[in-house]
Amino acid sequence: MLALAIAVFLWGIASGTSNAERGFDIPVVLDRLPENLVVTEQSIDDINVRVMGSRAVLRSVNPDNYKLEIDVSGAKPGVAVYDVDLSKIDLPRAARFVSHAPSRVQVRFEKRGRKSVRVRADLQGEPAAGFHFVSAAIEPPKVWLVGARSQVMRLDEVVTENINLTGLNADYIAEARVNPGLGTVWMEDDRPVEVKIRIEPDAPLEAAQLPGGADPGSQGAP
C-alpha cells in the first residue's frame, strides 16, 4: 500500500511538471490610431498561438487575459503590414510561446471624413381606414456622419429604421435610429431622431349631383 501511494504521488508530480502544448486565439488590437485615419480593412482579427509549459502552468493560462496590441501611431493612408511580436505578452513563469499564425497583419487606412446629410424617414404600412398620412417632420432634419472619407462624401442622405404606420388614426411621434448602411461610416452622435407623423381623417364624400346641379330627387316624371 505504501509503495502504491508513493507511485501515485510520483506520477502526479511527473504529470504536473512534464511539458505540454496548448493552442488558443488572442484578439488583435490596433493601438494609438491617429485621429485623422480610419481602418477600412484588416486581414485578421485574431492570432492563433501555441504555448508550451507544464500541465499545471497551462491550466492557469486564461486566454481571455491576453491580446496582441499593435502600435499604429505612425500609420498613413494606404496599406501597412505589421509583424506579429509576442514578446510584450506576459505569460506565467515556465510557459512560453512556441508558434503563432499568421506572422503578419495587413491593415488598410483611409483619411477620416465628416459630412452633414439629411435624414429620411422609412415609413411602412397604411393608417386606419378613414385616415391618411399627411407628412413626417424629422428633428433634427440633418445629422453628422464620420468615417472613411471616400464613403462619407458619397452620401447625401441617411434613412431611419422602419416606422410602421399601420392602424394609426391620430398624430404620432416616434424615436428612430439612423443607419448609414456602411461598415466604415457611423453617426457622430448616435442618439435617435424624433419623427413627428401627421395623420388626418379622409374628407367626407359629397352627395352625387346631376349635371347642372339638379338634385335627382327633384326630377319629375317624363
Q: Quick: pLDDT tens for 176-201.
A: 999 888 789 999 998 999 999 999 99
Q: Where are the domains of the chain?
A: 20-111, 113-201
Sign of torsion, CA 116 122 128 132?
Answer: positive
> How far is CA 31 from each of CA 54, 68, 84, 196, 203, rounded to the nearest angstrom?
32, 10, 14, 42, 63
Region 132-156: mean pLDDT is 96
Contact status, residue 50 vs residue 22, Cβ threshold 8 Å: yes
pTM of the predicted model over 0.75: no
Q: Which fold has domain 113-201?
A: RNA Polymerase Alpha Subunit; Chain A, domain 2 (2.170.120)
Q: Do domains 20-111 and 113-201 have the same CATH topology?
A: yes
What pLDDT does 216 receive?
Answer: 46
Confidence of residue 221 (pLDDT cuts 50, 70, 90): very low
Over the stretch 2-42, which tens digit does the pLDDT of each residue have?
A: 776 665 555 555 554 568 999 999 999 999 999 999 999 99
Nearest to 66 by CA among 91, 84, 44, 42: 91
* Domain at 20-111, CATH from 3.40.50.150, 2.60.40.10, 3.40.50.970, 2.170.120.30: 2.170.120.30
